[in-house]
Structure 1
Amino acid sequence: MELSLYGVDVWSAALLFARIAGVIMLLPGFSEPAIPARVRLGFALVLAICLAPTLADRVPDAATSAWGMAFQVSSEALIGILIGGAARFLMTALATAGQIVGLEIGLAFAQTADPTMTQSGQLTSVFLSMLGLALMFATGLHHMFLQGVVGSYDLISLGAPPPVGDAADLALTTAATSFRVGFQIAMPVVAAGLIFRVGLGVLSRLIPQIQVFFIIMPLQILGGLVVFALGLSTGMLIWLDSMQSYALWVR
């Protein structure tokens, strides 16, 4: 069955758009709530039309029934959601690190507006999320993700059923990697906080008349921010490396 409109193969564009839209709607940097959904879908449609001539020979024939065609399009959309969702999982490492850092330095209840989520969020989590997005675009990582969209057709061919077993393994791996990276980013603050609290415990035993844990709160915040700043560059490099590894795997 050949479906064309103004010289464009509609069936090829529809299959490509289903997967690309699923990826773009979840891909970090492109799927932020501050970007309207119509803009994201329009970008996915333009990208699908541009890729249609290149991947036309890989497009399977359309099913003979409407239900069959709907199943093919839905399968491609699920594959796109799988690929984009794994990248979004890795993005949550920054939120995890921010939550841990905020609890350690005493800023757990400090809230500020989060432009990426159009709502308020914890101060350190919002800072790390904004820094991660800035670094992703500054290092050209978003180009690697777009190349990964094209490379995903070599990883999972057009028309193939969604790999359910591999999807479960990918979800577990990315979730574990996200938590590990988030903890690695916050590890300097956690270690310094442990040493600091041990010292406070010894001091409170030596001078029980002084409420050490209340008097020392400003020093805890200041020292925590200093340690956080010193380990920030290394932590963000670890996060960028995890994102780059996933982009290279998809590409």
Structure 2
Amino acid sequence: MAAADAALLAALPGLAFHAALILCRMGAAVMLLPGIGEAEIPPMLRMALAVGLVFALLPALSPSLPELPPEVSGLLALVAGEVLTGAWIGLLARILTLALALAGQVVSLMVGLASPLQGDLVLGSSATALARMLSLATAALMLATGLYEVPLRALADSYGVLPPGGAWPGGAVAEAVARKASDSLMLAMQLAAPFLLAAIFFNAALGLIARLASHAQVFVLAAPAQILGGLTLLLLLLPNMLDLWARGMASGFRLLPGAD
């Protein structure tokens, strides 16, 4: 019994270092992951989740993690690499989920609600109320549909793809961020495509009416119709938009580093 206690005490410093190493990656990712890393969630709750992930992953990951480096420079490089890896994975997932809020910005412009009515903690003070609503819907859908589990699973499995202490793939990191930004923008434009077409036809019709009745204040009278028609179209298309967004997230998350 005394020998087992002595072995446990001897292993505690190594386990503490491994726990701190895992926390670097998990903490950086949890602060950015969609659904659980929203700005509306207090940082203490997000950090508590990161600590819980550390306790869950420590028994499985500890045997494969490196030992404490003898030099401070090696320790700093190891910690910096883990923080950057976690932030990279969290950022990739965050960029992809911004598609719904970006679509809300485009829709607001098309229906005449482009003025900064309500700020957004993510998109900034220039976000519209509609974009803010869809941004909150993003967090709610991530939690309600269980999509948040896919980035977390990819984060846990990323140790097999990006082991601690390995070379930092700078080119691959930049390429992955650019690709995710492109995918997010493409999905946002797909979500807002019906409103773009409706705005084109609506403004073309207004121009024709203004040409035929030059003395009528067509655009002043058409502004309420544009807003009412745009919101009605949004009400009709919102279920399909959310379904398309969810399918886009499911397919995009499967391409995260470490995902199956």
Please report the TM-score for the alignment, with normalisation by the length of structure 2.
Answer: 0.88
Corresponding residue of 1:200? 206
Q: 1:34–1:117: 8 Å Cα contact kept in structure 2? A: no
Q: How does 1:126-141 map to 2 (within 5 A)?
A: 126-141=132-147
| Moved segments of 4+, more than 6 Å | 115-120
What is the alpha-carbon root mean square deviation over aligned residues? 2.1
For 1:3 and 1:87, locate their aligned partners in 2 and report how far apart those are by CA, in whole Å: 35
For 1:62 and 1:196, locate their aligned partners in 2 and report how far apart those are by CA, in whole Å: 66
Q: CA offsets, 1:131-185, max 9 Å, x none?
A: 1211111111112222122122223223223211110111110111111111111
For 1:75 and 1:113, locate their aligned partners in 2 and report how far apart those are by CA, in whole Å: 34
SS of residue paired to 2:118: strand
SS of residue paired to 2:59: coil
Corresponding residue of 1:36? 42
Q: Does 1:12 align with 2:6?
A: no
Q: 2:100–2:135: 8 Å Cα contact kept in structure 1? A: yes
Q: Does 1:82 align with 2:101?
A: no
Give the one of 215, 218, 235 matched to 2:221.
215
For 2:145 and 2:111, locate their aligned partners in 1 and report how far apart those are by CA, in whole Å: 30
Compute the displacement of 1:118 (Å).
Answer: 10
Q: 227-236 or 47-56, which moves further after superposition? A: 227-236
**Count of residue pairs brought into register by the alignment:** 248
For 2:182 and 2:121, locate their aligned partners in 1 and report how far apart those are by CA, in whole Å: 27
SS of residue paired to 1:4: helix
Compute the displacement of 1:4 (Å).
Answer: 1.9
Compute the displacement of 1:40 (Å).
Answer: 1.4
Q: 122-131 or 105-114, which moves further after superposition? A: 105-114
Q: 29-38 or 15-24, which moves further after superposition? A: 29-38
SS of residue paired to 1:112: coil
Q: Does 1:111 align with 2:117?
A: yes
Q: CA offsets, 1:205-246, max 9 Å, x none?
A: 111110111111111111111222222222222322232223
Please report the TM-score for the alignment, with normalisation by the length of structure 1.
Answer: 0.91
Q: Does 1:164 align with 2:131?
A: no
Q: Which has the higher strand share?
A: 1
Compute the displacement of 1:71 (Å).
Answer: 0.8
Corresponding residue of 1:46? 52
> Which consecutive residues of structure 1, in runs of 5 or more, have no partner in the other structure?
none
> Which consecutive residues of structure 2, in runs of 5 or more, have no partner in the other structure?
1-9
Corresponding residue of 1:125? 131
- What residue identity is the alignment partner of 2:52? V
Corresponding residue of 1:69? 75
Compute the displacement of 1:3 (Å).
Answer: 6.2
Compute the displacement of 1:129 (Å).
Answer: 0.9
Compute the displacement of 1:47 (Å).
Answer: 0.9
- What residue identity is the alignment partner of 2:135? S
